[in-house]
Structure 1
Amino acid sequence: MSTDTITAPATTTPAAPVTPTAPAMPSVHRRALLTWLAVYPSITAAFLLLGPYLSGLPVPLRTLAMTAVVVPVVVYGVMPLLLKANARIARRASLGGRPAAR
């Protein structure tokens, strides 16, 4: 009789994948404020820069030209920056005012 012992192969279960959690959406009031903070200065700047060139056009065409410039600038440029800043501020507030560890 043999004294060798048979051991079962070690079975490992794969670890559950870690998925990053999405940052919480700001409240509707904060989103409205952030949108206003993006839109108002953008429209003002567009009027100052483009107003003299568009003054001869009828109002609907002026509005079309302004929105064709302002909407992409706000959506792709200004809002992402404001949302990142908002997330940083919210993270600091949740940490009790301490800077977040990196």
Structure 2
Amino acid sequence: MNTSETTPSRVGPPPRHHLAVMIWLAVFPTLTVLQLLLGSLLRGTPTVLRTLVLATIAVPIVVYGLLPPLQRLHRQLLAPRR
């Protein structure tokens, strides 16, 4: 029996440019939606404070909510076909 048939192959981290695209695909829509939802509420605030609020909300959404499914999709698309 060949061990490669019984042992699941582990996929390494994605190439840096793939990761950059995945992050962009998660960050851009998240920031756009947050800006649409909170833009009027944050309109008069200083830029640094507005950025702090948006980043504080966006980072957990991206890291815990959007990147894991994108990484699974990436693995599925690039997994060797059986």
The interval holding the TM-score normalised by the smaller chain is 0.7 to 0.9
Partners in 1 of 2:15 and 2:46 — Cα distance? 38
Partners in 2 of 1:22 and 1:45 — Cα distance? 35
Cα deviation per residue 1:30-83 (whole Å; 9 max; x = unaligned)?
111111111111111110011111111111110000000000100000000100
- Equivalenced residue count is 77
Which structure: larger Rg?
1
Q: Say whether 1:71 aligns with 2:56.
A: no
TM-score by length of 2: 0.84
Q: Say whether 1:61 aligns with 2:49.
A: yes
SS at structure 1 position matched to 2:39: helix
Q: Would you tell me which structure has more helix in proportion to its own residues?
A: 2
Once superposed, what is the RMSD of the aligned Cα atoms? 1.8
Which of the pair has the greater relative contact order for Cα pairs under 8 Å at 6+ separation? 2
What percent identity do the matched residue pairs reach? 39
Report the Cα offset of residue 20 of structure 1: 5.8
Cα deviation per residue 1:8-42 (whole Å; 9 max; x = unaligned)?
xxxxxxxxxxx865322111111111111111111
Unaligned runs of 5+ in 2: 1-6
TM-score by length of 1: 0.69
Unaligned runs of 5+ in 1: 1-18
Which of the numbers 42, 49, 52 marks the counterpart of 2:30? 42
